[in-house]
Each structure stands twice: as C-alpha cells, then as structure tokens.
Amino acid sequence: MDIKDLTIKKVQEGLKGKEFSAKELTDEYLKRIREKDGDIGAYLSVFEERALKAAGDIDERNAAGESLPPLAGVPVALKDNLLIEGAVATSASKILEHYVASYDSTAVRKIEEAGAVVLGKTNMDEFAMGASTENSGFHPTKNPHDPERVPGGSSGGSAAAVAGGMALGAFGSDTGGSIRQPAAFCGIVGFKPTYGAVSRSGLMAMSSSLDQIGPFARTVADAELLFDAIRGHDDLDSTSLDLPELEPLKKEDLRGLRIGLPKEYFGDGVSAAVAKGVEEAVEKLKRLGVDFKDISLPHAKYGISTYYIVMPAEVSSNLARFDGVRYPGLPEVEKNAETLRDLYFKTRGEGFGAEVRRRILLGTFVLSAGYYDAYYAKAQKVRRLIGQDFDNAWGGVDIIMTPVTPTPAFKFGEKTDDPLSMYLADIFTVSANLSGVPALSMPVKPYPLGGKELPVGFQLMGPRLSDKKLLHIGKFYEEE
Amino acid sequence: MLEKNDLEKLAELSRMEVEPAEEEKLLKDLGGILDHFEELKAVPTDGVKPMTGGTETRNIYREDEEGNGLTGEEAKKGFPEEEKDYLKVPPVFE
C-alpha cells in the first residue's frame, strides 16, 4: 500500500469505496514503524494490539453500512504527555518511567470518538522542555530529512513520526513553540490554537497559562480536520471555549486580505535560507491577491526574557507534584530513602534531567521573596505589553506573517552546552503563547517523504478565535 | 549575581538535591540567563496591569451538581500504593 500522498480525505474515500480497510492501513503504518523507527526514534511506545483492534472496529462498522466518523481509520501518534487510560505516560522523564495513566485526556477521548487509530506515544523533550528533543530521558529523535539534525522540540517525536511516514497525523502540545518549531524543522504543518480552544484536561501541565494541544499533519487540510475533532468547551477545563462559527473563507476573500510583516522578526538573526523561504511564501500569497504591509511589534524582542520567567515560575509549581509519593517514584531511591525529606530530595534530584532541574531552580528563584517583583511581576507586565502590540496591530492588518525559526534544523549537540542559545531558538514562537493568539506553522512548499532538502516554514498568526481563518488561508496557499 | 549559597537555598526550596559537582555549571548557566533578563529593566511598565493568566475570562461557574467524575476505585488507581482503602504514604513524622 502506498501512503506517500495519503491524506485524511483519501482515507475517508478509500474506506467508503472499500479500496482498502482500516486494518490494512494500520498494518502498513505499523510495518513502517517497525522498519524505520529503529533509525528515527520517533516513538516511545507502540500500541500494536490496541491499534489493530480500533481499526477492526472501524472495518466492522463500515461493513455494516454505518456512516463513519470524520477521522475513521486515520492512524495518529500522540505526544507522551497526553494521558490514555491504562497506558504508560512518561513525558519522556525517568521520574515517570513506571506511571500508568488512570484516565483519558479529553483530547484523546475526542480523537478516539472521531474514529482515529492511536498507533503509539511519541518522544519529546522531558516534560516538554526543550527545542530539539535532545532532552528526552530515553533516546534522541532524528530529523527524517537529515539524520545528523534534530527534529526540533519539544514535540519532536510527533513531528518526526508524520514527516517519516510513520503516522498520518499527530498531536502535541505547544507552550512556547513546541508544535510549530518541530513542524518547521520537519517540513510539515503544525498548529497552535487560540489559548482555550482545546481542553487541557489530561495534558501533563508544564506552564498552565501557555500550554495548548494542537495537531501535526502533512497538509493544512488534514490539520484542520484533526483540530476540529479536539476543539471545544470541556467542563474539565474551565479555560476552554467554543470557537464562533465561521463561514468558510473563499478564495476570493484573499484578495485584499491585509497581512503584516513585523520588522522585529526579519532582523540579522534570520538565516539566508529562512529569509529566502519566507520571501517565496510572500510572493505566492501576493499572487493570490494578498496585500502586505510592514508593521512593528515593539515588545516582541522581549519575548524570550518574558517567556523564560513566566514559564519556569509555572513549571516550578506544576512539577512540585512529582515527589516520589503521589506518583510511582524511582524504585532504588524508594528502597534506600531513610526519611521523607530524603525521598523528596533524591527522587527529584535523580529523576529529573538537567534542563528540567534548571527550570525548576530558575522558577523558584523568580518567585522567591525579594526577587518576585523584579522578575515575575515585571514579566507579567511585559507580557501584557506584548499582547497589546498584537491588539494594536489588528487595527491595520488581518493576519501577521513571520518566520517560525531563525534557522532550519540544527545539528545534534550544537546548542546543548549553552541553554540560552537553545532558548533563543524559540524567539519567533513564544509571543503567540504569551498573548494567547492562534498560530499556524506551514512549509513554504511540499517536502516529500524521504526528501533530503532541509525544510523551511513560515508562520501565520491571527487575533484570538481566528483559528479557522488561519487554517483556511493555509489551505488556499497549499492548493495554489 | 547568584552565589553558591543562593543555589543551595533554591535547591532547599525546590526539595531537590543538587550535587556539588554540578554547582559550578548551574551557576554559570543560571547567571547567563539572569543576565539576559536584565533587558526587561529598560521597559517602562508603570501603570501596566500584570497579565496573570492565558485568558481574560472571569468567574467561570457551573451548576453545583454531581458530574461524571472518577469513582473512588478509579481514583485510587492513580496512586501508587494503598492499604485498607487508604492511600499509603511514607511516615511523615519522625
């Protein structure tokens, strides 16, 4: 079975026309995982039996003439920080190596209700902290376009699974760029919805005011279908909300659409390859009738400092729960700990990797007495200003377009010695999380399976709740 | 500038062991990051309201009714150890 140009629409048609069964499709992806993932390392666990059973159910319903749900038979991968009842969920951390989730995340429940077949859980930077997946507590993941380079992060496993043809779609979480940056590095589509558009119930919390779940796919059309399956209000997450209904955008609507290019995103730090790619995308959108306008987001340059204060502060409190008591800890430590204090200190000291510990210490520092106002309170104010920059921009433009990353995928080890250089890889993505706006990362052109060219992507951001509009613009771009 | 005793205090507050061998590298890394944060001092923020969360939604209520939560049995599955219907934890008082 050839999956090279497969899309969700083709899966829907293929199942309906009985060209193939869901089981055949799942078998094909499981075979590809067996053959390829030893080299790539996208998955942490593969659920062969569970996947084949889910596919078999779809085939039975299809044979009985039932109308199938929108993602019927679509093989997907999930980042390992999303809970599935009864399945190991590690967040790629040694501290959770033996943790089995006791309930389903809302997103996973909805994905399965929509008929998708979950193939397995994917590798990531530990607790979603990193931009290369090098911080996984288990193994690295390679970029399918060049095995010497990282797939990006933190959702690097999900991106590599899709770009390597080992899942048709995938889900990840994006706190400061963790969906959009790996999507750009791997030449696929990644979407960070408006804050609240997708329920966070059952997503392991990293930074609760920034985290959002979103999809990865080969096309924007597929990403939209995956997003539609998981979005909407959920009683288990009081920040979740329903998007307003939107008339589908028509191609004519692109004529006269105003897209802003913020000058702060096109400075010296942008590599020639990325600058050229984004320019190519601008030219293509111009051919579709879009008007471009130079704008300024004056506080964007403070995004990294603001983000790396707010996020670690939330990390330090969210990760306090991993204390060796409330979740299965480290067996060796448990055996030897003499006091409760000993158990806490050793579990957390040995169970967390270097980057997670760095962020816990940093977060504890910015929240501590005497430093709170200078760091945390200050960052919360600058966060407001970064959000206001966007609000001001929407007066003059409908959408904002930027690079996703300063460079294409970098090599293993290039940034691991200097954490600040790794943090700066997030420079173009953090503002969307800080202000809560939706942001779409898509490839400048199609990068085929097995291709060797290093991908470049671009980013479209819109006002809060404009998620569907962004996706529709993206669809017209990829159809052109 | 962060000093060794600051780091020890942070480790204490975080309930997390820091090995003496890694202190030097941690101080260097954290110092570099804190230096980068200095740029925020130049941003005028007088009168700016702090943004304290990801949403401006306020006062989210629901009916005070029993929902489809986890049963006691299900909830216990989320905890490593139990004994006679209690969650089992290590001794807290010495």
- Of A63-72, A341-350, B85-94, give the lowest mean pLDDT range: B85-94
Please give the helix or strand (H or E) that residue A105 lies within, else none.
Answer: none
Segment A366-381 mean pLDDT: 96
Amino acid at A188: I
Q: Kindly determine whether residue A306 and residue B91, on different chains, have CB atoms separated by under 8 Å.
A: no
Respond yes or no on whether the N-terminal peptide bond of residue A154 is cis (omega within 30° of 0): yes
How big is chain A by its Cα radius of gyration, in Å? 21
Q: How far is B1 from chain A, CA to nearest CA, in Å? A: 12
Q: Could you give the angle at the alpha carbon of A12 between the alpha carbons of A11 and A17, nearest 5°?
A: 95
* Residues facing A100 on adjacent strands: A88
Amino acid at A300: A
CA of B62: which chain A residue's CA is closest? A235
> What confidence tens digit (pLDDT) does each residue in A385-434 have?
999 999 999 999 999 999 999 999 999 999 999 999 999 999 999 999 99
pLDDT of residue B62 exceeding 90, the answer is: no
In a domain, A350, yes or no: no
pLDDT of residue B57 exceeding 80, the answer is: no
Segment A359-387 mean pLDDT: 97
User: DSSP character for A127?
Assistant: G
Q: Could you give the angle at the alpha carbon of A399 between the alpha carbons of A240 and A257, nearest 5°?
A: 130
Question: Which residues fall within 8 angstroms of residue A359, CB to CB, at 6 or more apart?
Answer: A129, A311, A312, A315, A316
Segment A29-58 mean pLDDT: 98
Segment A313-341 mean pLDDT: 93
CA distance A151 to A190: 13
Q: Residue window 44-83, chain B: list those with CB within 8 Å of chain A.
A: 45, 48-55, 57, 60, 62, 67, 70, 74-75, 77-80
Beta strands in A127-244 (DSSP E): 169-174, 189-192, 212-217
- Of A366-375, A392-401, B69-78, give the lowest mean pLDDT range: B69-78
| More confident of the two residues A1 and A229 | A229
CA distance B10 to A367: 11
Interface residue of B1, B9, B15, B93 to substitute, partner A, most A CBs within 10 Å: B15
Contact A105, A201 (CB under 8 A): yes
Cα–Cα nearest to A405, from A439, A435, A438: A439
The pLDDT score that the predictor gives to residue B85 is: 85
> What confidence tens digit (pLDDT) does each residue in B34-44 have?
999 999 999 99
pLDDT of residue A304 exceeding 80, the answer is: yes
Percentage of chain A lying above the pLDDT 90 cut: 95
Structure tokens at A322: 């991993």
CA distance B89 to A15: 51
Q: How far is B89 from chain A, CA to nearest CA, in Å? A: 6
Q: What CATH number has the domain bearing residue A21?
A: 3.90.1300.10
> Reduced to 3 states, what is the DSSP secondary structure of residue A377?
helix
The pLDDT score that the predictor gives to residue B92 is: 82
> What confidence tens digit (pLDDT) does each residue in A87-96 have?
999 999 999 9
> What confidence tens digit (pLDDT) does each residue in A136-159 have?
999 999 999 999 999 999 999 999
Q: How far is A309 from chain B, CA to nearest CA, in Å? A: 8
pLDDT of residue A217 exceeding 80, the answer is: yes
Q: Kindly determine whether residue B80 and residue A328, on different chains, have CB atoms separated by under 8 Å.
A: yes
Interface residue of B17, B51, B57 to substitute, partner A, most A CBs within 10 Å: B51
> What confidence tens digit (pLDDT) does each residue in A429-440 have?
999 999 999 999
Segment A262-288 mean pLDDT: 96
The whole model's pTM is what?
Answer: 0.97
Q: Kindly determine whether residue B14 and residue A209, on different chains, have CB atoms separated by under 8 Å.
A: no
Q: What is the mean pLDDT of chain A?
A: 96
Segment A102-127 mean pLDDT: 97
Segment A31-46 mean pLDDT: 98
Q: Kindly determine whether residue B39 and residue A302, on different chains, have CB atoms separated by under 8 Å.
A: yes
CA distance A107 to A226: 10
- Of A299-313, A371-385, A390-404, B43-57, give the lowest mean pLDDT range: B43-57
CA distance A471 to A459: 11
Which class for B24: exposed (0-12), middle (13-18), buried (19 or more C-beta within 10 A)?
Answer: exposed
Other beta carbons within 10 angstroms of residue A412's beta carbon come to 16
Number of domains in chain A: 1
The model's confidence at residue A213, banded by pLDDT at 50, 70 and 90, is: very high
In a domain, A298, yes or no: no
Interface residue of B9, B12, B33, B79 to substitute, partner A, most A CBs within 10 Å: B33
Q: What share of chain A is helix, strand, coil (3-state, %, to 5)?
A: 45, 15, 40
Residue A32: domain span? 8-250+439-457+466-479
In a domain, A291, yes or no: no
Please state the three-class secondary structure of A95-164 as a single string: HHCCCECCCCCHHHHHHHHCCCEEEEEECCCHHHCCCCCCCCCCCCCCECCECCECCCCCCHHHHHHHHC
Amino acid at A273: A
Question: Domain residue spans in chain B?
Answer: 4-42
The pLDDT score that the predictor gives to residue B70 is: 81
Segment A346-363 mean pLDDT: 97
Chain B environment of A316 (Cβ under 8 Å): 14
Biggest alpha carbon–alpha carbon distance for chain A:
71
CA of A237: which chain B residue's CA is closest? B60
Chain A environment of B17 (Cβ under 8 Å): 345-346, 348-350
Q: Using CB atoms, which residue from B10, B49, B75 is nearest to A361? A: B10
The pLDDT score that the predictor gives to residue B94 is: 66
